[in-house]
């Protein structure tokens, strides 16, 4: 895994190299990422629902807002990883 020299650069990219021995391993990795993405989305929806219904104090709602944003970022990153795997698998079929 390599990182850019300037971590503050908003356009930074991250290169991840992971050896996958078989198509079964690639499918298993994709499945694990899909499961993680589903979990994150569920948490986003649950916490956003609680926030929209007005649960908790003002401080707790501020914390929930931050947590929803954090969970949404995690969900989006998992979505990008899955898209990258799908692109590789599509290239290999072509």
Q: What is the DSSP annotation of 7-20? A: TT-TT---B-----
Secondary structure of residue 2 in the 3-state scheme? strand
pLDDT tens by residue, the chain, 94 residues: 555 555 566 677 888 889 999 999 999 999 999 999 999 999 999 888 888 777 778 787 788 888 889 999 999 999 999 999 999 888 777 7
Q: Is the CB of residue 28 less than 8 Å from the CB of residue 66?
A: no
Supply the pLDDT for residue 36.
97
Supply the pLDDT for residue 71.
92
- The residue ranges of every structural domain in the chain are 31-93
Nearest to 74 by CA among 27, 15, 33, 25: 33
Supply the pLDDT for residue 49.
85
Entry pTM: 0.75
Supply the pLDDT for residue 34.
97
Supply the pLDDT for residue 90.
81
Nearest to 41 by CA among 88, 76, 11, 4: 76
Q: How far apart are CA 64 and CA 47, in angstroms?
A: 7
């Amino acid at each position: 895994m390599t990182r850019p020299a300037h971590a503050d650069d908003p356009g930074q990219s991250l290169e991840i190299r992971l050896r996958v021995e078989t198509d079964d391993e690639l499918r298993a990795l994709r499945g694990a990422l899909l499961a993680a993405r589903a979990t994150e989305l569920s948490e986003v929806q649950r916490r956003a629902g609680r926030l929209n219904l007005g649960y908790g104090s003002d401080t707790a709602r501020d914390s929930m807002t931050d947590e929803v944003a954090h969970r949404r970022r995690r969900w989006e990153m998992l979505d990008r990883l899955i898209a990258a795997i799908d692109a590789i698998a599509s290239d290999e079929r072509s």
